Structure 1
């Protein structure tokens, strides 16, 4: 005989409440963390850790592999068709056909009403086993065609709100990471504002002690690798100057425009070395940005091929210019660039000049080998065919993320 739990589809709960509870739990976990943790942790890695138990594993129903079984059951007379000679209040033995519909994912999500709309087409109660949902059809007439039609009717009810819920859950999954990052940033900004106020009082700050630095990780029922809570080893935090992302992207765009000009006017730049090309980029960059210390210090040189932007004594942007010499030199140039960095939220760039005839092969190599670097975290986006935006971390600390823009330009030999 069939046994299992029961689920009334699309009526037992509400996705709006489910999403709201997830948002409140994420925000609560953020607020439980110490000031030091929030000010030092990688926002993205902490957010990815927080949302892993809230990402919805939307169920996939496999109608291609439906199977049936049957068992006998006492059926009340009231459930029989009207043309049967049965007596009210009595039961009669009949075969019950059980359709098993395999599934993967969290089937209990289908017990909720959708957020965006609500179906009035009715619902159906299904049985739930470990790997399938079931619907039962009583065999009154031993008519296979009638049983098939009854199953098709059940299938329509099972799928009545399915795609509504799927769209809502996909929307939630696509937005929850940004929500968590936003809440982390929001709390961090409040802490920074508070610290600025307290510092302005001119007396030492007394820090709270005894605040837990970690919390236990609930056992999520996930089929993917579990993300472990990022650790923070630095207890202090000193706000440091940093370029806004808007200014950073503007700088990269100017470099990209200059590099494209190199490609459009090859005769002008033929035979030029790294330092000559670097200086031309500086020539265009310098008048576009009025950053710097009170003395008006703006873009300065460090070593032979670096471009630096400084604010007071802090470096807030650095670029390395190199001719392409294969993937080994490319990866070592990233190492060289990372070796300069000991500050928070660094904005950096690697400008590659390519004299190889096969530019497409170089583009493919950059795309493939960059992600193999041990400091690589993720790819943000790609602006055109030869402009990549990556997130790396500085040496020995995954919480210290840097932006690395890689731009490649094809120059004449």
Structure 2
């Protein structure tokens, strides 16, 4: 669990200044051949993702808390007021550093339960509504100030890296060209070091790990199974939240439900998930760039509209699946009475699809199954389609 004491460790600006020193030192110690043969944008994003900070997001699925603390030896009582926060890696850095070194110090902390908390001292009196309102106003102000600073510092930090790397790369390229010219004019052999050293794997944000981009010609990345499983787990959790309050979510359209899933994915994958994205010959509902291995994962969100629509949705996947992609996700929301019947029909439809590979059906749980399908234009190429169904009937 994250735990941090508020404003106890310098400012957020100090963090980015120190981070830039580390980035610059790393770049300066990197072989010229690595810098020259690595895509500049990828290298910029690598360093940016490593040090960029998250914003503080209130967890609207939980309520604020008010907790009575123990009585001190002097019989003085206190209570703790807390606002629930969505926990993220590096959030402790944001909490423990001031948004502005000139702001007044405020006593608060991020506790082990994921609450941004402030302690209210009760000097012989009782807690009142005004105490709670004041504490909530103070904590909301803290959140706004820190988020404002993070939102301004993150892009500035990325721009600083970019403004240093691009001229450096041009300088290296120019120096190499000059040496080649001198060698040619002097009839001497120029020994080149075109083979770049092997990059180092580094752990970065949250569940995602970023591998320092390799200094070689780019190839199409392949999505790893563990990456897909982490996304499916997140979507499954979000879908089950829909099911707990179906009256609220059943009134939303496909796009609204999709946007909620996108928001959840972006909270974990740092803004890598997009909606209504053109890929190949179609436009996919969810398009997720997986930083962990560079692969692409796509998904379709639909309300249950019968077996014909279910078949057409499977067809739709092949409109934007590229040959090197091995996975797709089909999310179905049902507002129909008789959810078991809907699941049965979805299974029948998936098994009868022309691209279905015989005996490839796998039932993961009652509302989640997997089929293996062939590409319509290439019977030797196969893709796993993960089918998730959620019951929004009320």
TM-score (norm 2): 0.45
Which structure would you say has the larger Rg? Answer: 1
